[in-house]
Protein backbone atom coordinates (compact mmCIF):
# COMPACT_ATOMS: atom_id res chain seq x y z
CA UNK A 1 0.00 0.00 0.00
CA UNK A 2 1.26 3.48 -0.82
CA UNK A 3 2.19 5.72 2.02
CA UNK A 4 2.33 9.47 2.17
CA UNK A 5 3.63 12.23 4.36
CA UNK A 6 1.09 13.52 6.80
CA UNK A 7 1.76 16.94 8.21
CA UNK A 8 0.11 18.26 11.33
CA UNK A 9 1.35 21.85 11.73
CA UNK A 10 -0.28 22.20 15.17
CA UNK A 11 2.32 19.79 16.54
CA UNK A 12 5.31 21.58 14.99
CA UNK A 13 7.57 23.42 17.40
CA UNK A 14 9.86 24.79 14.70
CA UNK A 15 12.91 22.78 15.77
CA UNK A 16 13.99 22.27 12.13
CA UNK A 17 15.11 18.66 12.69
CA UNK A 18 13.26 17.76 9.48
CA UNK A 19 15.20 20.29 7.42
CA UNK A 20 18.48 19.04 8.86
CA UNK A 21 17.64 15.41 8.18
CA UNK A 22 16.46 16.17 4.66
CA UNK A 23 19.51 18.18 3.65
CA UNK A 24 21.82 15.57 5.15
CA UNK A 25 20.08 12.68 3.40
CA UNK A 26 19.90 14.39 0.02
CA UNK A 27 22.82 16.80 -0.09
CA UNK A 28 25.19 15.29 2.48
CA UNK A 29 25.25 18.44 4.62
CA UNK A 30 23.32 19.73 7.62
CA UNK A 31 22.03 22.85 5.93
CA UNK A 32 18.38 23.83 6.20
CA UNK A 33 18.78 26.05 3.11
CA UNK A 34 19.25 22.86 1.07
CA UNK A 35 16.27 21.04 2.51
CA UNK A 36 13.34 19.97 0.38
CA UNK A 37 10.98 20.30 3.30
CA UNK A 38 10.68 23.78 4.66
CA UNK A 39 9.26 25.02 7.93
CA UNK A 40 7.56 28.38 7.53
CA UNK A 41 7.41 30.55 10.59
CA UNK A 42 4.52 32.84 11.39
CA UNK A 43 6.05 34.98 14.11
CA UNK A 44 3.01 37.10 14.87
CA UNK A 45 0.71 34.11 15.08
CA UNK A 46 3.28 31.91 16.81
CA UNK A 47 2.79 29.17 14.26
CA UNK A 48 5.08 26.85 12.34
CA UNK A 49 4.08 25.12 9.13
CA UNK A 50 6.26 22.33 7.68
CA UNK A 51 5.68 22.17 3.98
CA UNK A 52 6.80 19.97 1.10
CA UNK A 53 5.58 18.24 -2.03
CA UNK A 54 2.43 16.15 -1.51
CA UNK A 55 3.16 13.96 -4.57
CA UNK A 56 -0.19 15.06 -5.96
CA UNK A 57 -2.02 13.00 -8.54
CA UNK A 58 -2.39 16.02 -10.76
CA UNK A 59 1.44 16.22 -10.90
CA UNK A 60 1.65 19.55 -12.67
CA UNK A 61 5.44 19.25 -12.71
CA UNK A 62 5.33 15.90 -14.46
CA UNK A 63 2.91 17.13 -17.13
CA UNK A 64 4.84 20.33 -17.73
CA UNK A 65 8.24 18.69 -18.24
CA UNK A 66 9.13 18.75 -21.95
CA UNK A 67 11.56 15.83 -21.82
CA UNK A 68 9.92 13.28 -19.50
CA UNK A 69 12.42 13.84 -16.71
CA UNK A 70 9.80 13.55 -13.97
CA UNK A 71 8.18 10.18 -13.45
CA UNK A 72 6.14 8.50 -10.79
CA UNK A 73 7.90 5.84 -8.76
CA UNK A 74 5.28 3.10 -8.73
CA UNK A 75 6.47 1.69 -5.44
CA UNK A 76 6.42 4.88 -3.42
CA UNK A 77 4.04 7.05 -5.45
CA UNK A 78 6.63 9.82 -5.42
CA UNK A 79 7.21 12.04 -8.44
CA UNK A 80 10.93 11.72 -9.05
CA UNK A 81 13.28 13.86 -11.11
CA UNK A 82 15.85 12.01 -13.18
CA UNK A 83 18.98 14.16 -13.13
CA UNK A 84 20.38 12.58 -16.25
CA UNK A 85 17.28 13.49 -18.27
CA UNK A 86 16.47 16.90 -16.76
CA UNK A 87 17.77 19.74 -18.94
CA UNK A 88 17.20 22.37 -16.28
CA UNK A 89 14.57 24.37 -18.17
CA UNK A 90 12.72 25.19 -14.91
CA UNK A 91 9.28 24.91 -16.43
CA UNK A 92 8.28 22.49 -13.67
CA UNK A 93 9.28 25.08 -11.04
CA UNK A 94 6.80 27.62 -12.40
CA UNK A 95 4.15 25.00 -13.16
CA UNK A 96 3.93 23.51 -9.65
CA UNK A 97 1.27 25.66 -7.95
CA UNK A 98 2.49 24.58 -4.53
CA UNK A 99 5.97 25.97 -5.07
CA UNK A 100 7.64 22.72 -4.08
CA UNK A 101 9.91 22.14 -7.09
CA UNK A 102 12.99 24.34 -6.91
CA UNK A 103 15.90 25.01 -9.19
CA UNK A 104 19.43 24.40 -7.94
CA UNK A 105 21.80 26.77 -9.71
CA UNK A 106 24.86 24.79 -8.64
CA UNK A 107 23.77 21.61 -10.38
CA UNK A 108 21.58 23.10 -13.11
CA UNK A 109 18.83 20.64 -12.15
CA UNK A 110 15.68 20.83 -10.11
CA UNK A 111 15.10 19.32 -6.71
CA UNK A 112 11.93 18.10 -5.09
CA UNK A 113 10.90 15.72 -2.36
CA UNK A 114 11.10 12.07 -3.45
CA UNK A 115 10.06 10.56 -0.11
CA UNK A 116 13.69 9.42 0.25
CA UNK A 117 12.78 6.36 -1.79
CA UNK A 118 10.17 5.25 0.73
CA UNK A 119 11.83 6.11 4.02
CA UNK A 120 11.38 9.87 4.47
CA UNK A 121 14.02 11.10 6.86
CA UNK A 122 12.03 14.18 7.87
CA UNK A 123 9.33 11.97 9.37
CA UNK A 124 11.90 9.88 11.23
CA UNK A 125 13.59 13.02 12.54
CA UNK A 126 10.49 14.84 13.72
CA UNK A 127 10.35 14.49 17.51
CA UNK A 128 6.72 15.64 17.87
CA UNK A 129 4.97 13.57 15.17
CA UNK A 130 4.12 16.74 13.27
CA UNK A 131 5.41 14.82 10.24
CA UNK A 132 4.44 11.18 9.92
CA UNK A 133 4.59 8.69 7.08
CA UNK A 134 1.25 6.94 6.95
CA UNK A 135 -0.79 4.65 4.77
CA UNK A 136 -2.39 6.51 1.93
CA UNK A 137 -5.39 4.72 0.57
CA UNK A 138 -6.77 7.94 -0.88
CA UNK A 139 -5.81 9.32 -4.26
CA UNK A 140 -3.35 12.18 -4.52
CA UNK A 141 -6.13 14.66 -5.05
CA UNK A 142 -8.10 13.40 -2.07
CA UNK A 143 -4.86 13.49 -0.13
CA UNK A 144 -4.42 17.15 -0.99
CA UNK A 145 -8.00 17.95 -0.04
CA UNK A 146 -7.83 16.04 3.20
CA UNK A 147 -4.57 17.72 4.00
CA UNK A 148 -5.91 21.17 3.27
CA UNK A 149 -9.14 20.58 5.21
CA UNK A 150 -7.34 19.11 8.18
CA UNK A 151 -4.90 21.96 8.48
CA UNK A 152 -7.83 24.32 8.10
CA UNK A 153 -9.58 22.77 11.07
CA UNK A 154 -6.39 22.75 13.02
CA UNK A 155 -6.02 26.44 12.39
CA UNK A 156 -9.50 27.35 13.53
CA UNK A 157 -9.48 24.94 16.47
Partner 1 sequence: MKHVIVGAGPAGVVAAETIRKLDPSAEVTIIGNEPEPPYSRMAIPYLLIDNIEEEGTYLRKEETHFSDSAINVVVDTVVSVDPGAHSLALGSGKNMEYDKLLIASGSTPISPPIPGIDNPRVTSCWTLDDARKITSGIKPGAPVVLIGAGFIGCIILEALVSAGANLTVVEMGNRMVPRMLDETCGTLLEKWCKEKGVNVMTSSQVEAIEDASDNVRVKISGNREVEAELVISAAGVRANAGFLEGSGVEMSNGAVVIDEYMCSSVADIYAAGDVACGRDFSTGEYSVQAIQPTAVDHGRAAASNMVDHGAVRHQGSVLMNVLDTMGLISASYGQWEGIKGGDTATLVDKDNFRYLQLQFDGDRLIGANTLGMTQHIGVLRGLVQGRFHLGNWKNRLMDNPLLVMEAYLAATQGIQA
Task: Calculate the CA dihedral of residues 80, 86, 92, 98 and round it to 10 degrees.
Answer: 30
Neighbours of 11 (CB within 10 A): 16
Q: Among 72, 116, 112, which residue's Cα sits nearest to residue 92?
A: 112
| 125/72 Cα distance (integer angstroms) | 25
Is 94 among the residues that bind ligand FAD (CB under 6 A)?
no
- Interface mask toward ligand SF4 for 3-42; x: CB under 6 A: ----------------------------------------
Q: How far is CA 102 from the centre of its chain?
A: 11
Is 91 among the residues that bind ligand SF4 (CB under 6 A)?
yes
| 35/53 Cα distance (integer angstroms) | 12
Q: Tell which one of 72, 89, 95, 144 touches ligand FAD (CB under 6 A).
A: 89
Q: Tell which one of 13, 31, 75, 87 touches ligand SF4 (CB under 6 A).
A: 87
Binding residues (CB under 8 A) for partner 1: these are 9, 38, 40, 42, 44-45, 47, 49, 51, 60, 63-64, 66-68, 85, 87-91, 93-105, 108, 148, 151-152, 154-156
3-state secondary structure of 135: strand
Residue 125, H or E segment: helix 121-125
Is 138 among the residues that bind ligand SF4 (CB under 6 A)?
no
Taking CB under 6 A as the binding criterion, the range among 21-29, 64-72, 117-125, 137-145 that sits at the site for ligand SF4 is 64-72
Residues near ligand SF4 (CB under 6 A) are 64-65, 67, 69-70, 81, 86-92, 110
Amino acid sequence: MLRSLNIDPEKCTGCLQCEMACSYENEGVFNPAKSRIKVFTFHDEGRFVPYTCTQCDEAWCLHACPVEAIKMNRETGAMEVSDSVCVGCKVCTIACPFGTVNYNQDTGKVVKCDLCGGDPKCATACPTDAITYVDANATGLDKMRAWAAKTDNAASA
